[in-house]
Amino acid sequence: MRLRSLLSSTLGFVAIASSTAVDQATLNACPGYELHNVKTQGLTLLADLSIRGKACDLFGPDVEELLLNVTYETSTRLHVKITDPNLARYEVPESVLPRPTSDDHALTPQAADIQFNYTASPFSFSVLRTSTREVLFTTGSHPLIFEPQYLRLTTDLPQNANLYGLGEHTDTFRLPTHNYTRTLWSRDAYGVPNGTNLYGNHPVYFEHRDTGTHGIFLVNSNGMDIKIDDSTPGKTTLEYDVIGGVLDFYFLAGSESDPTEVARQYAQIVGTPAEAPYWSFGLHQCRFGYQNYIDVAGVISNYSIANIPLETMWTDIDYMYKRQVFTLDPDYFPLPRMREIVDYLHSHNQRYVLMTDPAVAYLPDQGYGPYDRGSALDIWLKAPNGSFSLGAVWPGVTVFPDWFNSDAQEYWSNEFAMFYDPQTGLDIDGAWIDMNEPSSFCSYPCTDPFEQAVQQDLPPARTSSPPNPTAPIFVSNTGSSEHLSKRVSHKGENLQFPPYEINNADGSLSNKTSDTEAVHANGMVEYDVHNLYGTMMSTATHNAMLSRRPGLRTLVITRSTFSGAGRHVGKWLGDNFSNWEHYRNSISGILNMASVFHVPMIGADICGYAEDTTESLCARWAMLGAFYPFMRNHNADTSISQEFYRWQTVAQAARNALDVRYRLMDYIYTAFHKASVDGTPVLNPLWYIYPRDPNTFPIDLQFFFGPSILVSPVTEENATSVSVYLPRDTFYDFSTLTPIQGDGRNIMLDNVNLTSIPVYIRSGAVLPLRTAGAMTTTQLRKTDFEVIVAPNNTGEASGSLYMDDGVSITQNATTEVTMTFSGNTLNVRGSFDYPTGVKVSRVRFLDVSKAPREVFLNGQMIGKSAIQHDTDSKVLDVALDIPFSENFTVHVD
């Protein structure tokens, strides 16, 4: 075919000649499409696609005519969309995931950082990095397949590609590339087994090369397999196999030098993470299996006795009457005693959170308000015949809120306002939502949920006697609706068993979840929007908490997520096990959520959820968990108790790790604020910081907490040593502040006892640390700062600090400070509109070989008594004891 440019080069849409024959044997002689009727207007290309020959009809009839829409939205973002112009197909609603628009009116395609090229016949396209002409994505010899219930698009990638994302999953952070399938279909994944689909769905991946990092985001919530394989010598392929919707891609140019830039570009699409309340960074405690209010109060007391900081107490579904949401069991968790617990916590500057599930007990004519009020508003998900779509969950037979119903938000906010009323109910501080895939215990076909509930003993009976309702406690511590322009048609399609069967670990798409044929108020079917359910419940819960606590930031922790969930909520990694594999897996899990998917308030159940932990595992996990953004100990009702105070070793490990976490609280709070502004990750894999070091690309047992704190936990059972990779850079031991030179290899750290965890400061950082830990974050905010200066090999360092009131959505005053060190001078500059109320007690300069002759504060010499130098650790301490309310400089001569 003759090479020809259909547009001038200034428009950036370039046609290229085909160079690779279609592999007809592999693709069952699928003909692909031919592009014609190309039209361009400014930054947009529109073209028709027509099937080239006899349709292959792999999993249904090929759609014969398609529409291609390509738009340069920003200099770094290209939007490519392929749809059926003759039939309305499902697309992810903008009410769930709002789309960005371009406001760069000066942009021209030729000036963009990535370029769209295409071949007309057979149609294929590629995306190139403009500066290097490097191909980032190419459909090459792989024919496009577009059928009613099957879409396939394949790209060629380099051999040994470094791919990250495509989750949620418990596989390695760098994805395997040999015969590997990632399946996206939300399910209740007890035990979070490797290689299976789990609770959340984020169809985005980042690819890192020596030449830069870029990202690909497919906006599609239908079930899909994403297959990665390197069986063909010399190359790797990534194949999308999707069972509905459209092909709606965003291509992100990323950066040639800074991998975190692609994360910021992705945030421009899915939204930046929400600001988190300061208190949410404290320690949280929960378990499934607290038998009554006395158990709950006892745990609170015992944490205090053990001198372990407890910020927030949580309670699982145990508190409910017969597992019914928005109820309290009057015998086991009576309202007056529960209010006593909440009042006690609040009087001690602590918080309380309860679980709320989406499944509402189906109890018509039985006076159950949450069901009756929802029925009156007609907000339940419906079966195809118009009746309520039923499942079997903890309370027995249930209905499910339809979050697309225009009255669903009103219903949910009202239930929260009534049950969690500060005057008459329980004044919770945050919300925990679970089972929102949505989960059902009813196996497909769920023809008789009533029988299923009986067979599974739902709701489960209490196994203990109710407590004395007047028993003393706390004695031991005296020391929306979406409208479509055209209704989506699924006529003649099999929504239970589509022709292409994705690799769903639960088999049938409707097994143990909502029925795929269930109908929403706007006519959408669960087949299309299933993967959105958890995120939509998250948004509704976020809004409900805003309604009952106007002006205050929310903490909502969810289990199921879709792209964009982090705008409103945090997440935990689900029902893991108390074993070393899941301890290790949690690191890649938090990295995926925080550094790729923009759900940074992320953690795993510390010490494990299911099965029995051990003392050594729990001690190690308490220390690792101190570097999860969301730090919560939580386990199952069938497991032994694992509160940190149960073992002396674990208690000491927790105290040690929490002391470090709380001293770093303002550092990580600052990182969260930056993430909320521009999407800069709060956790970083090593390759984000050292993108030219190939040894870092597969590492997922070490990570950076914020930009400068390297965490290297012990990851093997019974081990007291750990192999730590240190890139070619200077690091400082966090506990001793002594320097160590990394040279791009692993070093063995010995004698790492059960109450310590290797933590290093990366050189080039200035850290604002609290001088000590505290029992609550309220107390912590009254603790003075010290500034740590950790210079790099050129004698420079920098850092920042952001402070506000910690709870308000809109801030009347903030303190924002930059700290730079150069030429032996520390400059602290900024605005101090929010009163810190504390002092800077000292500055600690690291890697200082000899004592200085003189030190100056704001040009005035400091007395010798305020200066101490340790020749062994090379730490120079300069006592200041000045109010942290204005700029200052410290010069070392």
Catalytic residues: 434, 437, 575
Contact 798, 766 (CB under 8 A): yes
CB-CB neighbours of 191 under 10 Å: 16
Residue 448: C-alpha distances to residues 60, 344, 361, 443, 454 (Å): 32, 45, 15, 10, 10
CA-CA distance, 566 to 570, in Å (whole number)? 6
In sequence order, the 6+-apart residues with CB closer than 8 A to the CB of 860 are none
CA-CA distance, 486 to 145, in Å (whole number)? 24
3-state secondary structure of 655: helix
Q: What is the DSSP letter of 280?
A: G
Half-sphere exposure of 733 (CA within 13 A, CB side): 14
Contact 816, 829 (CB under 8 A): no
Closest CA to 623 of 595, 655, 671, 584: 655
CA-CA distance, 516 to 525, in Å (whole number)? 7
CA-CA distance, 86 to 477, in Å (whole number)? 71
Contact 630, 601 (CB under 8 A): yes
Beta bridge partners of 802: 816
Class of residue 101 by CB neighbours under 10 A (exposed 0-12, middle 13-18, buried 19+): exposed
Residue 596: C-alpha distances to residues 202, 264, 581, 629 (Å): 9, 10, 22, 15
Beta strands in 98-199 (DSSP E): 114-119, 124-129, 134-138, 145-147, 150-157, 162-167, 180-184
> Are β-strands 570-572 and 602-603 bridged in parallel, bridged antiparallel, or unpaired?
parallel
Closest CA to 676 of 876, 814, 498: 814
CA-CA distance, 568 to 271, in Å (whole number)? 10
Q: CA-based diameter of the chain, in Å?
A: 89
CA-CA distance, 711 to 516, in Å (whole number)? 43
3-state secondary structure of 46: strand
Q: How far apart are the first and last CA of the chain?
A: 72
Residue bearing tokens 């745990």 = 299
Residue 382 has which token pair? 């419906």
CA-CA distance, 242 to 79, in Å (whole number)? 19
